[in-house]
Structure 1
Amino acid sequence: MEVIVPFSTDRPKSRLSDVLSPDERAAFARAMLDDVLDAVKGAGGEPRVLATDTVDVDAPVTVDDRPLTDAVNAALDARLGTEERDRSPESVAVVMADLALATPAALDRLFAAGHDADVAMAPGRGGGTNAFVASHPEFRVDYHGASYLDHRGIAAEVGADFVAVDSHRLGTDVDEPADLAEVLIHGEGRAGTWLREAGFALDASGGRVAAVRD
């Protein structure tokens, strides 16, 4: 199965600007991307990076500098297009590049669910859409706001069978400084190593576990 991994090279992870410099944010975003690509390959997927500019990775890259919704829908059009109605389209997955906790086992669950439903989706903790598998030729995305609810509605509108995949690892996207603690606790790849080498550690003072920098 082809797995599209959207990746922004333009000011990546801007919401981490309070704790990371621009160069550090770029390096950390790249570490998370590499972890996601490893997890996709480990689950038997064939990753293709959908990037806003050229990026040197061990996977094919498609450059599309349009907003996320437009770029992903163009990719879905090319793979799920409705021109050949005499055959069922193959499933395609979209997995975000900031899922630093993703593992092959977590993606296996998502991919397996995608074999049994027209759309299988892993929602993010804040109501976003972190990963999905789709085979319905009319399903398209809209990443604005609480996109998980929007996508569930879109699936219903086009008559697509929909299933949610509840996964802590796929539901945790790394956007805010508070998310870094999750990477230090549960991360198994380059992103967690990068944070530790950058001087981050866990702090449990105040009754709350957080990532702090030396």
Structure 2
Amino acid sequence: MLPKVVIPLKPDNPKSRLSSVLSDAERQTLLRLTLEHVVTVLKCAGIRDLDVLSKSPLPETIEKSIRTSFDDYENKRTVRILTDERDLNTAVNFYLKSSGPVLIVMADLALVRPENVKKMIEPIQNPDETKNERFIRIAPGKGGGTNMIYIGAPDVFDVKYHGQSFRKHLDEAKTLNLPVEIYDSFYTSVDIDEPDDLTEILIHGEGDLYQFARDILSIQETNGRNKPEHKK
């Protein structure tokens, strides 16, 4: 049985750390396109039960984009839009306590693929049990964050986002004596937080997200490093 998936979202002033490269309107477009990509990937991976947990009401353009990418009324697949104004950890942990097994996916995974999602939710390999859903599987971000996490025991596990959350979540699973696995993949490690992250879209991105980045950005070599710059 496929787990529920939840995407935490902060639609107001998104990706403020990209303001040196992208305008406010461009950052809103980037949010819409990365979210559209993630939602489409989840649909292609076979996910049927999707919630978007937003800190504030969604702009109409973003909600329309989500529903266009995921909803399939004929097959009874619709996304739920939930609003919780509390901080990320409080909102997600409250959500978890009313949930069964769940996969949490960040909204800015511009390179994630359907096969990554399938790997995150497959049963853990445990020779002592034929099937064990009460496990944790973590896909770390390149800076030590948590880009995706499967939580098979939401009744006892609490998320601890911000800072080195990957290590915090790993330690939490071990403290609770829950089986835990790390899922390492380049495609799940890239989240779009800093200007340099935009380079990965220009190199590895696809579809509308890649076209958006290519239209407004170019890659410049600075001290041997590739850095994105806004086209004049």
Query: Structure 1-normalised TM-score?
Result: 0.89
| Structure 2 equivalent of residue 82 of structure 1 | none
Residues 26-49 of structure 1 show CA distances to partners (whole Å, capped at 9, x for unaligned) of: 111111111111111111123211
1:75 paired residue among 90, 95, 98: 95
Q: Which runs of 5+ in 1 are unaligned?
A: 80-89
| Structure 2 equivalent of residue 178 of structure 1 | 196
| Structure 2 equivalent of residue 87 of structure 1 | none
| Structure 2 equivalent of residue 60 of structure 1 | 80
CA contact (8 A) 1:31 1:191 kept: yes
Q: CA RMSD in A?
A: 1.7
| Structure 2 equivalent of residue 209 of structure 1 | 226
Q: Which runs of 5+ in 2 are unaligned?
A: 68-78, 125-130
CA positional deviation for 1:105 = 1.4
2:109 paired residue among 81, 99, 104: 99
CA positional deviation for 1:201 = 2.5
| Structure 1 equivalent of residue 127 of structure 2 | none
CA contact (8 A) 1:113 1:120 kept: no
| Structure 2 equivalent of residue 83 of structure 1 | none
Q: How many percent identity over aligned positions?
A: 35
CA positional deviation for 1:113 = 5.3
Q: Partner of 1:139: helix, strand, or coil?
A: coil
| Structure 1 equivalent of residue 51 of structure 2 | 48
| Structure 2 equivalent of residue 25 of structure 1 | 27
Count of matched residue pairs: 203
CA contact (8 A) 1:41 1:47 kept: no
CA positional deviation for 1:110 = 1.2
Distance 1:92 1:37 in 2: 15
CA contact (8 A) 2:21 2:229 kept: no
- One-letter identity of the residue aligned with 1:194: F
Residues 13-36 of structure 1 show CA distances to partners (whole Å, capped at 9, x for unaligned) of: 000010111121111111111111
Distance 2:105 2:226 in 1: 27
| Structure 1 equivalent of residue 150 of structure 2 | 133
- One-letter identity of the residue aligned with 1:23: A
